[in-house]
Amino acid sequence: MIKLFKIRGGVHPQDRKQLSANQAIENLPLPPLLHIPLQQHIGAPAEPLVRRGETVLKGALLARSQGAISAPVHAPTSGRIMGIGGFPAHHPSGLSVRTITLQPDGNDAWVDHLDPVADPFTLQPDDIARRVAEAGIVGMGGATFPAAVKLNLRNRYALHTLVINGAECEPYLTCDDRLMREQPDEVLDGVLILARGLGVERILFAIENNKPEAFAAMNSAAHAYSQVEVVGLPTRYPMGSEKHLVQTLTGRETPARGLTADIGIVVQNVATALAVHEALRHARPLISRVMTVSGGAIRQPRNIHVPLGTPLSSLIDFCGGFKQKPARLISGGPMMGQPVPSIRVPVVKGSNGLLALTEEEVRLRSEMPCIRCASCVHACPCGLLPLDMAAQIRVGSLDASVNLGLLDCIACGSCAYACPSHIPLVHYFNYAKGELAARQRAQHKQNETKRLIIIRKARMEALKQAKHEMMMKRKRELATAKQRNTETPSTEVGA
C-alpha cells in the first residue's frame, strides 16, 4: 500500500450515490433519431465525410479529425444520414453547432472500419496512439481532451506513471463505479494498453473508499499484474481533480499553468480505459458510453449504456420520467456540472450524468453579502482567496483577480458549496475567465489590425516615396531637356 498525502481544502458533499449505485448498467433501446455533433471534444471540430441521404453502417467514420487536437466521429448505429446542420449543443448556452442527424435502420449492422489487433502489447506506442486517435477516444470523465494527444505527451515529457482516475468524486454519479464492478478485466486491459501507449511501467489505479465493491473487483483483476497498484482514496471532493489526485498519490504538486506530465504522470479515466480496450481488442470506435441518470426528481435512477447522439429526453423516458418537477436539469455532477438548455440536446462523449434535481437538493437560497467567514478559503483546494477574487471581479478589476490567482482556480465549486452567504463564487470566476479570454482575443485582433495598418502604412509610404522619386526623376529629365532647349531660343516662354 502506498503512502497517501493530504490535499488542502475540499468539502464533503452528500454523495447520494446510493440512488443509482446498485443499478446494473442497462442498454438503452435505439431512439428514432440520433444527433451527432461534430465537436464532442476539446479542439477543432471534425470534418464531415458523409452526405445527406447516404446510408452508413455502425462504426463507420462520419467525420474525420482535423488539426493536431481533434477527434473523429463515428456512426453509433447503422442507418440513413438525414442531414448535416445546426442543432442545439450539449452546453448551457444551447447554441447551435454542426451536427449529423442519423435515422437508425434498426439493424445495428457493424462495419469493420478499424482493424482489430490480436495482441496490442506487440504494438509500438505510436501505433497505439494512432489507433486510439482513430477510434475517436477522448477523456470521458468530462474533460473530453483527445486521449491520443495525451498519449503523445510521452514524446515531450519524461513519464513514469499512469494514474487511472476512478475517484468519481462528484455526488450522484455511479457510471465509473458500475464499469469497474461489471467489467474490471476489460477496464484493466484498457489500462495496460494505455500504459504501453505511454511507455510507462507503473500504474496507480485510484478509487475513492466509498466504492468498496469497485475496489474489490479491480483489486482482484489487477492481482496478477505487479505493476498495477489499486489505491483506496479518502472520500473528499475534489479528489478526482487530476492535479489533486496526483498530489494525493505522490505528494507533489503540479506546477502552476503546467500539466501533471511535468512531474511525469498522465491521468486517464476509467471509461476512457474501457474505450481503449474496445478499440484495440474489438476494433470498436467510441460510439456509446455509460451515463448515470439520477436525482431526486427522476422516477427510477439508472446507469445506462447510451449510443452517442441520443436525445436526453429518451434517457428520461427510459427512467420512467420525472417523479416531480425538477428544479434543475444538470449534465454531469452537481458540483461542476452545467445546466442543460433543453432535453432535446444529444448525449456526447463527455456526458457522464444527467441529473434532475429537486429544489430541496439544490438548496438555492438568496444571496447575502460576504461575511468574511473564510469558509471558502478553507474549502479551496488550490489555496486561493475566493472572497477577494470575487470582490475584485465584482468591481471590475479583473487584473487584480488574476493577481490573486484567478487563473489557478480549477472551478471545482468547493468555495461556493461552502459559502454561507450563498454567493455564486464560481459564477464570478467563470465570468471573469471568459471575459479575460475575450479580451485576449480582442487584444490579439487589435494587435493584428495594428500590424496590418503599420504594414499598409509602410507600403503606402514606399509607394509615395517611389512616386516622389519618379516625379523628381521626371523633373530632372525635364529640366535637363529645358536646359538643352534654352540653349536654342524658343517662343514657348510662358509654358
Partner 1 sequence: MIEERPAPGPYTHAGTSVNRIMLLVMLALAPATLLGFYLFGWPAILLFLTTLLTAVLAEMLALKLAGKPVRKFLLDGSALLTGWLLAMTLPPWAPWWTGAVGALIAILIGKQVFGGIGQNLFNPAMVARVVLLISFPLEMTLFQQPLPLCSASAPGFIDSLAISFGNYTPVDAVSSATLLGQIKTELGRGVPFDRAALDAGSLWRSSWGDVAGSMGETSALLLLTGGLLLIYKRIITWHIPCAMLGTLALLAALFNLIDPVRYVDPLTHLTSGAAVLGAFFIATDLVTSPVSRQGQLLFGAGCGLLVYVIRTWAGYPEGVAFAVLLMNACTPLIDHYLKPRIYGRDSKGEPLNYVESASGDER
Q: Which residues bind ligand SF4 (CB under 6 A)?
A: 370-376, 379-382, 384, 386-387, 409-415, 418-421, 423, 425-426, 429
Output the smallest distance, CB 397 to partner 1, in A: 15
The entry of ligand SF4, partner 1, none that residue 67 binds, CB within 5 to 8 Å by partner kind: none
Q: Decide whether 189 or 361 has the Cβ nearer to partner 1.
A: 361
Output the smallest distance, CB 136 to partner 1, in A: 28
Output the smallest distance, CB 226 to partner 1, in A: 27
Q: What are phi and psi of 220, to 5 degrees?
A: -75, -30
Question: x/- binding map, residues 394-413, to partner 1, per CB under 8 A?
Answer: -----------x--x----x
Q: Decide whether 249 or 393 has the Cβ nearer to ligand SF4.
A: 393
Query: DSSP alpha helices (H): ranges in 283-424?
Result: 312-318, 359-362, 375-379, 386-394, 398-403, 414-418
Judged by CB under 8 A, does residue 361 bind partner 1?
yes
- Dist CA 347 CA 343 (whole Å): 10
Output the smallest distance, CB 146 to ligand SF4, in A: 25
Written as nine digits, the cell of 381 is 483546494
Residues whose CB is less than 8 angstroms from the CB of residue 56 and which lie 6 or more positions away in sequence, other chains included: 50, 62, 75, 78, 79, 80, 81, 102, 111
Residue type, 281: R
Helix (H, G, I), strand (E, B) or coil at 75: coil
Judged by CB under 8 A, does residue 252 bind partner 1?
yes
Q: Which residues pair with 47 in a beta bridge?
A: 64
Output the smallest distance, CB 404 to partner 1, in A: 8
Alpha-carbon Rg for the chain in angstroms: 29
Q: Decide whether 31 or 386 has the Cβ nearer to ligand SF4.
A: 386
From 208, 242, 253, 278, residue interacting with partner 1 (rule: CB under 8 A): 253
> Quick one: which segment of 7-15, 122-130, 137-145, 433-441 binds partner 1 (CB under 8 A)?
7-15
Question: x/- binding map, residues 77-106, to partner 1, per CB under 8 A?
Answer: ---------------x--------------
Binding to partner 1, residues 106-135 (CB under 8 A): none
Query: DSSP alpha helices (H): ranges in 283-372?
Result: 312-318, 359-362
Contact assessment for residue 225 and residue 188, using Cβ atoms and an 8 Å cutoff: yes
Judged by CB under 8 A, does residue 381 bind partner 1?
yes
- Dist CA 23 CA 15 (whole Å): 16
Q: How many helices (H) and strands (E) does the chain have?
A: 14, 17
Question: x/- binding map, residues 270-309, to partner 1, per CB under 8 A?
Answer: ----------------------------------------
- Dist CA 278 CA 21 (whole Å): 24
The entry of ligand SF4, partner 1, none that residue 361 binds, CB within 5 to 8 Å by partner kind: partner 1
Q: Decide whether 82 or 400 has the Cβ nearer to ligand SF4.
A: 400
Element (H, E) at 101: strand 96-104
Residues whose CB is less than 8 angstroms from the CB of residue 114 and which lie 6 or more positions away in sequence, other chains included: 59, 131, 134, 135, 279, 283, 284, 285
From 68, 95, 371, 438, residue interacting with partner 1 (rule: CB under 8 A): 371
Binding to partner 1, residues 302-341 (CB under 8 A): 325-330, 334-341
